[in-house]
Amino acid sequence: MIPLAPLRLGDIFGGAFSTMGRYWKQLFGIGAAVYGGAVAIMAATALIGYSAVSSHLSRVISLSAEEDPTSSDVVPIVVAFGVVWLVAMITFAVATAMMYATVPAILQEAVLGRPTTFSYIWRRAWARVPAVFGTVVLTFLVAMIPMVLMVVGFFALIIGAITLSHGGNVALWTALGFLGALATAPLAIWLWVKFCLAPSAAVFEGQSPVAALRRSSQLVRGDWWRVLGISLLAFALAAAASYIIQIPFSFLGMFSGVIGGSTLDEDPNPAAIAFAMSGYLVIMALGQLIGQFISATFPQLVTGLLYVDRRMRTENLGPALAEAAAVPPQYGPPYGP
């Protein structure tokens, strides 16, 4: 799929597109399985949560504008929403980690020019999900500080606008949030680029999360700006493709929503509204699912090839790859650190 030599920009993106074209069955199959399973778990959790608090929710919805809900109704609803949200975050994080492990597992075979099967890639990727999940969580924690500060500033600004309060506290929290985000964002970006090759190292070399982060930092050293530029270009292309893919789903969803809305009475109940909007929600969820698959696949193909390129440039990996290409497939890293 790529020349066994230091890669140029065209080689990296050409290799990413070629890998998607040649191994699309494995990529799309595992993507459909993990994200489809995540959606099914999410839907089941939401149904269980709704059935547990349906009576409380009905009482809250039926209140007039002058009535306030009681804590005995609000607390169960908030708890159920929190549980559903937590399950959704964990489920989709594991699904994303599975895709992050799948891409390097496929790249191992693609770089060597070998065919592979769905079952082999599934076993290979699933075995590395804990390590990849650890690298994803640790990398996310790196970028979380400026995100938290930005959210603090944003909510302080919104609260001040809603309450029409111009007091010093609101202005202080808003300024601290935005200035703190601006001050810490460069550090977060720098660390994110240093650690962006960690999922590939966790799969290619069988590294633990911390060792994979250390390995990524070692490989990025001396080529930080190039890794940043190519990674940003990959994310931009994936975002554009995801947006284009979701456009027809948006039109179909709007059409379905209009049809469903026309069947409602003048005073519909919540169940009727949910049923009328179900087609819109399903179509939009499908579009989001396909967009998430593109966002989780193409950039990781590019960063995986960046990992291979950095090892070729710093460790003369080409001869080792040529030798590994002549060896039958094995369960485990075809070439080590």
Q: What is the pLDDT of residues 77-109, one digit of tens each?
A: 888 888 888 888 888 888 889 999 999 999 988
Chain centroid, CA 271 distance in Å: 32
CB-CB contact of 51 with 13 (8 Å): no
Structure tokens at 241: 């493709």
Dihedral angle, C-alpha 157, 160, 164, 167, nearest 10 °: -120
Residue range 174-179: mean pLDDT, rounded: 66
Give the per-residue pLDDT at 113.
81
Looking at 152-161, 236-245, 324-333, which range is the least confident one? 324-333
- What is the three-class DSSP state of 79? helix
Name the pTM for this structure: 0.78
Nearest to 42 by CA among 92, 100, 94: 92
Neighbours of 302 (CB within 10 A): 24
Closest Cα to residue 245, out of 211, 293, 279? 293
Q: List, in order, residues 6 or more apart from 58 with CB less than 8 Å away.
A: 270
**Mean pLDDT (whole number) for 312-334:** 65
pLDDT score at 77: 81
How far apart CA 111 and CA 101 sit, in angstroms, is 16
Taking a C-beta distance cutoff of 8 angstroms, is the pair 326, 113 a contact? no
Per residue in 18-32, pLDDT tens?
998 899 899 989 988
pLDDT digits (tens, 9 = 90+) for 189-204: 888 899 999 999 999 8
| pLDDT at residue number 263 | 55
Tell me the pLDDT of the chain averaged across its residues: 79
CA-to-CA separations, 129 to 17, 133, 240, 246, in angstroms, rounded: 24, 6, 28, 28
DSSP H stretches of helix in 62-117: 71-112
Q: What is the pLDDT of residue 66?
A: 65
| Contact indicator for 298, 15 with CB cutoff of 8 Å | no
- Which of 333, 297, 283 is CA-nearest to residue 34? 297
